[in-house]
Amino acid sequence: MSWKPYREHDTVLILNFGGQYTHLISRRVRELNVYSEIVHYHQFDRSIVEEIKPKAIILSGGPRSVCEPNAPRVDSWILGLGIPILGICYGHQLLATMIGGEVKRGVGEYGRTRIRIEVRDTLFEGWGDEEDVWMSHSDYVASLPSNAVVLARSCETGYIAAFKLIDKPIYGVQFHPEVVHTPRGKKLLENFVLKIAGCRPTWRMENIVDKLVEEVRSIVGPSDKVLCALSGGVDSTVTALIVKRAVGDRLVAVFVDHGLLREGEREEVLENLRKLGLNPLFVDASKRFLESLRGVADPEEKRLIIGRLFAEIFKEIASRDPSIKWLAQGTTYPDVIESGAVPGADRIKSHHNVAGLPRELGLGVIEPIKYLYKDEVRKLALALGVPREIAYRHPFPGPGLAVRIIGEVTEEKLFIVRRASKIVEEEIKRAGLYDKVWQAFAVVGNDKWVGVKGDARSLGYIVIVRIVESEDGMTADWARVPYEVLDRIARRITNEIPNVTMVVYAITTKPPATIEPC
Ligand code: XMP
């Protein structure tokens, strides 16, 4: 489904040069209620400008150096479009070279850096004369042509921190306004998007429900049915509700129990979905999944087996009803960008619900929320009448507890991870932290630790507790949970689960680690 349902909203086009903060720029723009789209610089040409009709263009940061011979570039015709442009970090340096300036290797500025505003401009409205910003660069803009003016400089190095063309709304900033470590960064983006580019802030979730429903209705034939697999999570629930509004009873909602669900999850999800009027077809495939996973220790193999079984089940359902012509999926924007992103990028994990599934099913694919971020999906859920507890439920991976069990999935490890995860969730909720963290769960592997329980020596499993903060799951930091909460979690896990002797807390960020262990 390649529709672009949001084109009546003013759009900011973000040219992606591979920077780790590109999604953050995009989300910051959307937080201003302005629609944004990310386009990889490789795929950018005039036809994209004609199609998207952006009101502003932002050039992202990136890991390369504009001094390299094959550095990522964009043609200089964009400077003549008459559209406001803002270059950030790499984008700032690229713009400088495009207008005839010079970029050199410098001493590097990393982290918090103080800058001084030298020339007052709309871009810096609401900024003091000196402010802290977040820098991450080694190249710097060494000189600018006479048609550009330096707006700000780093206090320590004197490097150009911001510039503007005299006769055009074209700007470069060396720092990252999109990160929270630039305290007035949001204000700068607001100045650029709303004041300089004049974008109208019409992008609100309650405004797009009807449009999404209409789009689904327009592509699904009048007697076609749409299959939608539900997990109980917010993405698939919202997807199903939109499809339901569009095609009514021609939605075939399915909830598969793969035997890898959390404690009490099957009953809870079924009840929630029924309350929302989704009445899913329930498939208990737990035996089938657990048998197929027996003896399999490799994480990627486990994921592929689970993905294949899901596909088989959907195929069986679709083969029983020839009017099922479509598969609705809760793919979100980061999945879309990541899966089509940098050519040759490594596959980190086979997220089965993104990779591959639909084509082999022979069904058309409907992805109503594919341009939305998680926080937008949550707001959309509220607009669709989904209760807050479901809209703000933590993400839970499609392959379920299998990705929280290191090595083979056994009944014993499944029991441990299920119980321990429940304890982690309960304690996080009790401490009022559930809504503050992205995910909180337990993991178990094969390693054992010698313990003393009731004066007797025992050998038990090690449970890893992982609690992370994240904005979109693409980067994450471990949550600084109070010691008392960690203490309660650890005590409960070792007291309530007989064969666990040690609890550890995972304190590695993403990157380098991923959030789920497998
Ligand atoms: P990782 O482990 O890749 O996870 O850092 C990032 C986010 O994605 C979730 N995740 C999945 N979600 N199917 C899903 O629907 C999957 O196969 C899958 N694997 C990881 C993970 O829980 C985290 O929020």
Q: Which of 9, 40, 89, 131 is catalytic?
A: 89
Rounded distance from Cα 233 to ligand 1 centre (Å): 12
- Which of 166, 196, 226 finishes a domain? 196
In a domain, 518, yes or no: no
Query: What b/e readout covers 391-423, taking b as 16+ CB neighbours within 10 angstroms?
Result: bebeebbbbbbbbbbbbebbeebbebbbbbbbb
Residue of minimum CA distance from atom 18 in ligand 1: 397
Domain with 474, as residue range(s), is 411-505
Q: Which two tokens stand for residue 128?
A: 């003091």
Query: Which atom in ligand 1 lies closest to the alpha carbon of residue 351?
Result: 17
Q: Which of 246, 211, 252, 242 is nearest to 330 (CA)?
A: 242
How far apart are the C-alpha atoms of 338 and 472, rounded to whole Å? 12
State yes or no: pLDDT of 352 exceeds 70: no
Query: Which atom in ligand 1 lies closest to the alpha carbon of residue 516?
Result: 2
Rounded distance from Cα 277 to ligand 1 centre (Å): 27
Mutate to test the pocket of ligand 1, among 235, 258, 351, 396 (most ligand atoms within 8 A of CB): 351
In a domain, 331, yes or no: yes
pLDDT of residue 453: 79
**Same domain flag for 423 and 381:** no
Q: Check if the beta carbon of residue 190 is closer than 8 Å to that of residue 32.
A: yes
pLDDT of residue 471: 82
Q: Which of 176, 258, 351, 352 is catalytic?
A: 176
Residue of minimum CA distance from atom 7 in ligand 1: 473
What is the β-pairing status of strands 85-88 and 170-173? Answer: parallel
Count Cβ atoms within 10 A of the Cβ of residue 488 and give its class: 0-12 exposed, 13-18 middle, 19 or more buried: middle
Please state which of the ranges 150-164, 238-252, 445-459 shows the lowest mean pLDDT.
445-459
Q: Which two tokens stand for residue 280?
A: 């899913």
CATH of the domain at 185: 3.40.50.880
Tens of pLDDT along 256-307?
999 999 999 999 999 999 999 999 999 999 999 999 999 999 999 999 999 9
- Which of 170, 196, 222 finishes a domain? 196
Query: Which atom in ligand 1 lies closest to the alpha carbon of residue 517?
Result: 2
Which pLDDT band holds residue 351 (cuts at 50, 70, 90)? low
Residue of minimum CA distance from atom 22 in ligand 1: 397
Q: Check if the beta carbon of residue 459 is closer than 8 Å to that of residue 501.
A: yes
Residues 386-399 have a mean pLDDT of 95
pLDDT of residue 343: 41
Query: Which atom in ligand 1 lies closest to the alpha carbon of residue 474?
Result: 6
Contact residues of ligand 1, CB 6 A cut-off? 349, 351-353, 395, 397-399, 403, 439, 473, 510, 514-516
Neighbour count for residue 461 (Cβ, 10 Å): 23
pLDDT of residue 344: 39
Mutate to test the pocket of ligand 1, among 339, 349, 369, 466 (most ligand atoms within 8 A of CB): 349
In a domain, 217, yes or no: yes
In a domain, 186, yes or no: yes
How far apart are the C-alpha atoms of 263 and 422, rounded to whole Å? 7
- Which of 196, 227, 245 finishes a domain? 196
Rounded distance from Cα 289 to ligand 1 centre (Å): 19
Q: What is the mean pLDDT of the chain?
A: 93
Q: Which of 37, 109, 131, 178 is catalytic?
A: 178
State yes or no: pLDDT of 349 exceeds 90: no
**Same domain flag for 294 and 267:** yes
Neighbour count for residue 365 (Cβ, 10 Å): 16
Residue of minimum CA distance from atom 21 in ligand 1: 397
In a domain, 95, yes or no: yes
Among this protein's residues, is 89 annotated catalytic? yes
Residues 505-511 have a mean pLDDT of 93
Helices 374-383/234-247 angle, 10° precision:
50
**Same domain flag for 256 and 346:** yes
**Same domain flag for 96 and 171:** yes
Q: Which of 14, 82, 55 is nearest to 371 (CA)?
A: 14
Is the bond into 511 cis (omega within 30 degrees of 0)?
yes
The torsion of the CA quartet 479, 336, 64, 183, rounded to 10 degrees, works out to: -40
- Give the rounded percent of residues in the chain with a pLDDT score beyond 70: 95
**Same domain flag for 270 and 383:** yes
Rounded distance from Cα 350 to ligand 1 centre (Å): 9
In a domain, 182, yes or no: yes
In a domain, 39, yes or no: yes
Residues 354-359 have a mean pLDDT of 56
Tens of pLDDT along 409-424?
999 999 999 999 999 9
**Same domain flag for 27 and 63:** yes
**Same domain flag for 68 and 174:** yes
State yes or no: pLDDT of 341 exceeds 70: no
Query: Which atom in ligand 1 lies closest to the alpha carbon of residue 350?
Result: 17
When comparing pLDDT for 180 and 15, which is higher?
A: 15
**Same domain flag for 81 and 224:** no
How far apart are the C-alpha atoms of 393 and 408, rounded to whole Å? 28
Which pLDDT band holds residue 335 (cuts at 50, 70, 90)? confident
Q: Which two tokens stand for residue 425?
A: 């969730």
CATH of the domain at 486: 3.30.300.10
State yes or no: pLDDT of 144 exceeds 80: yes
Residue of minimum CA distance from atom 10 in ligand 1: 397
How far apart are the C-alpha atoms of 404 and 413, rounded to whole Å? 10
Rounded distance from Cα 514 to ligand 1 centre (Å): 9
What is the β-pairing status of strands 456-469 and 439-453? Answer: antiparallel
How far apart are the C-alpha atoms of 121 and 466, rounded to whole Å? 45
**Same domain flag for 445 and 367:** no
In a domain, 402, yes or no: no
- H helices of 145-264, in order, are 185-190, 205-219, 234-247
CATH of the domain at 217: 3.40.50.620
Residues 502-509 have a mean pLDDT of 97
Residues 173-183 have a mean pLDDT of 95
Q: How many domains does the chain have?
A: 3
- H helices of 99-133, in order, are none
Rounded distance from Cα 351 to ligand 1 centre (Å): 7
Among this protein's residues, is 67 annotated catalytic? no
**Same domain flag for 26 and 156:** yes
**Same domain flag for 166 and 187:** yes
State yes or no: pLDDT of 82 exceeds 70: yes
State yes or no: pLDDT of 347 exceeds 60: no
Residue of minimum CA distance from atom 6 in ligand 1: 473
Q: Which of 240, 255, 234 is nearest to 396 (CA)?
A: 234
**Same domain flag for 142 and 163:** yes
Rounded distance from Cα 33 to ligand 1 centre (Å): 27
pLDDT of residue 118: 98
What is the β-pairing status of strands 281-284 and 102-117? Answer: unpaired
pLDDT of residue 4: 61
State yes or no: pLDDT of 342 exceeds 50: no
Which pLDDT band holds residue 129 (cuts at 50, 70, 90)? very high
pLDDT of residue 511: 83
Three-state SS annotation for 19-34: CCCHHHHHHHHHHCCC
Q: Which of 325, 326, 450, 332 is nearest to 395 (CA)?
A: 332
Rounded distance from Cα 376 to ligand 1 centre (Å): 18
